[in-house]
């Protein structure tokens, strides 16, 4: 008996890969365009007042008065109508215009006869009657970028960065004489210094993040910068990318990592110090530099700690680091403070400061992990408990040193 064969169905044609990937993007773009240009939510916004928000990004004190940079951090346009200085109305000019679109910037020039070292309050009033306030803590002329100012802020970074780190490393000969028995305590002291540095940097980063417009999500920005920095250092460490600077010393990679982490912290610290001096908040406080110098001396101690000899007498001697190695570590840890002072003094940006402080947090955290592992391996090799009286005492002593020197900064 003959059977009838039916033609097989033609296979369904598939979209090319590029089309299947592009189609959802086009649909998303179409939906966003409707909301951006068609305003389908107009019914819900009827008869509601505009939501206004202005943020003072920076106030410069110039011979003629004040120059103010504002950001519209709200969802609606904002129109600036009047300006008050110390509760009195003053004339002003504004560029590019009085109305700021969402995320728009405006530059105000206010002619005002300020008096040196006196505080001033600046209030911006919108056409709806809302007010936004800024403050000049001490009226001191904001420096312009010139050779003299460039040198002055560079020296400021030198005083709080390179000099104290170098002074801290001068304790290396004394630490060498402590012997193997005290090596764990020295590492624990380093760990205490770093833990305090981590907390201090994190709090400072959150403080700066709190001054950013809400749209920038300052705290999230800090945490993301810290997380990315931590992952980047993990990747560099796993690839053996940390230079030794001296191939014969096993502690040099950790010392370099410490210098990198502290250097990133000092970059953010230099930003804060440079901005404080530029804004007049520390123009009369040379004691602030003394406090930061004492505070940062401990960073040199921390960097030198992994270089202390720890071998037994039966093991071959390890060649001590050369002077050039110490100089390289000092520059690596301290020089970023100079760059930070320049940025903070001349082109200060709260967003940049928050990011750099977040980077410092991530770097210090990775260094804490490395020092902790180094201390654990040392305890295992010596057959001692990780949490011994000597290690606990060193850790608490490191915290106490940082706390007392930080007290001098804020005294």
Whether 123 has a pLDDT exceeding 90, the answer reads: yes
Residue 30 lies in a domain: no
Within 10 A of 344 (CB to CB), how many other CB atoms are there? 29
Same structural domain, 124 and 200: no
Phi then psi for 166, rounded to 5 degrees? -65, -40
Residue with tokens 């990679």: 253
Q: What is the pLDDT of residue 66?
A: 92
Whether 40 has a pLDDT exceeding 80, the answer reads: no
Q: What is the DSSP letter of 252?
A: H
Which stretch of 59-63, 116-120, 322-326, 403-407 has the lowest confidence by average pLDDT?
A: 403-407
Residue 19 lies in a domain: no
CA atoms within 13 A on the CB side of 232: 15
Residue 15 lies in a domain: no
Closest CA to 264 of 294, 232, 238: 232
Same structural domain, 88 and 228: no
Residue 6 lies in a domain: no
Same structural domain, 159 and 129: no
> In 46-130, at which residue ranges do the beta strands (DSSP E only) sit?
54-62, 65-72, 78-85, 88-89, 92-95, 99-100, 105-111, 120-126
Residue with tokens 């403080």: 207
Residue 321 tokens read as 């680091």
Q: What is the pLDDT of residue 7?
A: 55
Q: What is the pLDDT of residue 155?
A: 87
Same structural domain, 281 and 340: yes
Q: What is the pLDDT of residue 48?
A: 59
Whether 156 has a pLDDT exceeding 60, the answer reads: yes
Distance CA 225, CA 360 (A): 9
Show which of 91, 109, 136 is a domain's final residue: 136
Continuous H helices in 146-251: 147-157, 163-169, 172-177, 183-210, 218-238
Same structural domain, 60 and 198: no
**β-bridge pairing 105-111 and 65-72:** antiparallel
Residue 40 lies in a domain: no
3-state SS assignment for residue 41 = coil
Q: What is the mean pLDDT of the chain?
A: 80
Using CA of residue 29, residue 30, residue 32, residue 33, what is the dihedral sign? positive
Same structural domain, 118 and 173: no
3-state SS assignment for residue 134 = strand
Residue 41 lies in a domain: no
* Cα torsion through 404, 407, 409, 411, rounded to 10: -140
Same structural domain, 113 and 155: no
What is the mean predicted confidence (pLDDT) over 292-299? Answer: 76
Same structural domain, 230 and 174: yes
Which stretch of 41-50, 87-96, 290-299 has the lowest confidence by average pLDDT?
A: 41-50
- Cβ proximity of 246 and 322 under 8 Å: yes
Q: How many residues does the chain have?
A: 411
The CA–CA distances, whole Å, from 366 to 139, 157, 162, 341 equal 41, 25, 22, 25
Q: What is the pLDDT of residue 315?
A: 44
Show which of 78, 101, 136 is a domain's final residue: 136
Q: What is the pLDDT of residue 5?
A: 53
Which stretch of 82-91, 137-146, 211-220 has the lowest confidence by average pLDDT?
A: 137-146
Sequence-distant (6+) residues with CB within 8 A of 168 are 296, 297, 298, 299, 300, 301, 302, 303, 304
Domain tally for the chain?
2
Residue 44 lies in a domain: no
Show which of 136, 166, 198 is a domain's final residue: 136
Distance CA 323, CA 326 (A): 5
Residue 3 lies in a domain: no
Domain that holds residue 208: 147-312+321-409
Which stretch of 174-178, 190-194, 255-259 has the lowest confidence by average pLDDT?
A: 174-178
Same structural domain, 345 and 396: yes
Distance CA 12, CA 307 (A): 69
CA 131 to chain centre: 30
Query: Could you report the per-residue pLDDT of 267-276, keeping only the tens digit for each?
Result: 887 887 787 7
> Residue 66: which CATH number?
2.60.40
What distance, in Å, lies between the first and last C-alpha atoms of the chain? 107
Whether 264 has a pLDDT exceeding 80, the answer reads: yes
Same structural domain, 175 and 66: no
Is the entire prediction scored with pTM above 0.75? no
Same structural domain, 210 and 72: no
Sequence-distant (6+) residues with CB within 8 A of 209 are 218, 219, 221, 222, 354
Same structural domain, 109 and 197: no
Whether 25 has a pLDDT exceeding 50, the answer reads: yes
What is the mean predicted confidence (pLDDT) over 346-374? Answer: 84
Residue with tokens 């945490």: 223
């Amino acid at each position: 008996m003959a059977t009838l064969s039916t033609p097989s169905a033609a296979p369904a044609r598939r979209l090319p890969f590029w089309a299947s990937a592009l189609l959802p993007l086009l649909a998303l773009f179409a939906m966003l365009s409707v909301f951006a240009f068609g305003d389908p939510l107009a019914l819900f916004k009827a008869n509601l007042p505009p939501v206004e928000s202005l943020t003072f990004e920076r106030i410069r004190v110039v011979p003629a008065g004040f120059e103010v940079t504002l950001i519209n951090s709200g969802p609606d346009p904002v129109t600036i109508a009047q300006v008050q200085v110390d509760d009195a109305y003053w004339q002003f000019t504004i560029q590019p215009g009085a109305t700021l679109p969402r995320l728009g910037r405006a530059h105000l020039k206010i002619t005002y006869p300020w008096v040196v070292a006196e505080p001033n309050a600046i209030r911006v009033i919108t056409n709806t009657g809302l007010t936004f306030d800024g403050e000049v803590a001490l009226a001191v002329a904001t420096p312009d970028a010139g050779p003299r100012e460039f040198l002055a802020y560079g020296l400021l970074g030198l005083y709080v960065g390179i000099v104290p780190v170098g002074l801290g490393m001068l304790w290396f000969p004394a630490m060498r004489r402590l012997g193997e028995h005290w090596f764990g305590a020295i590492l624990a002291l380093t760990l205490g210094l770093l833990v305090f540095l981590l907390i201090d940097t994190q709090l400072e980063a959150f403080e700066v993040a709190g001054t950013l417009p809400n749209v920038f999500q300052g705290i999230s920005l800090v945490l993301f910068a810290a997380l990315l920095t931590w992952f980047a250092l993990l990747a560099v460490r796993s690839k053996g990318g940390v230079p030794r600077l001296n191939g014969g010393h096993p502690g040099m990679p950790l010392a370099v990592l410490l210098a990198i982490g502290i250097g990133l912290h000092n970059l953010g610290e230099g930003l804060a110090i440079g901005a404080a001096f530029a804004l007049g908040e520390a123009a009369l406080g040379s004691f602030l530099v003394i406090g930061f110098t004492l505070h940062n001396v401990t960073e040199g101690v921390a960097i030198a700690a992994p270089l202390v000899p720890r071998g037994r007498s039966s093991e071959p001697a390890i060649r001590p680091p050369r002077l050039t190695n110490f100089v390289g570590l000092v520059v690596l840890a301290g020089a970023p403070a100079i760059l930070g002072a320049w940025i903070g003094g001349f082109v200060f940006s709260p967003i940049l400061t928050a990011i750099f402080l977040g980077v410092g947090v991530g770097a210090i955290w990775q260094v804490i992990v490395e020092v902790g592992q180094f201390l654990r391996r040392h305890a295992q090799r010596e057959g001692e408990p990780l949490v011994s009286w000597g290690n606990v005492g060193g850790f608490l002593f490191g915290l106490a040193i940082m706390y007392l020197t930080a007290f001098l900064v804020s005294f």
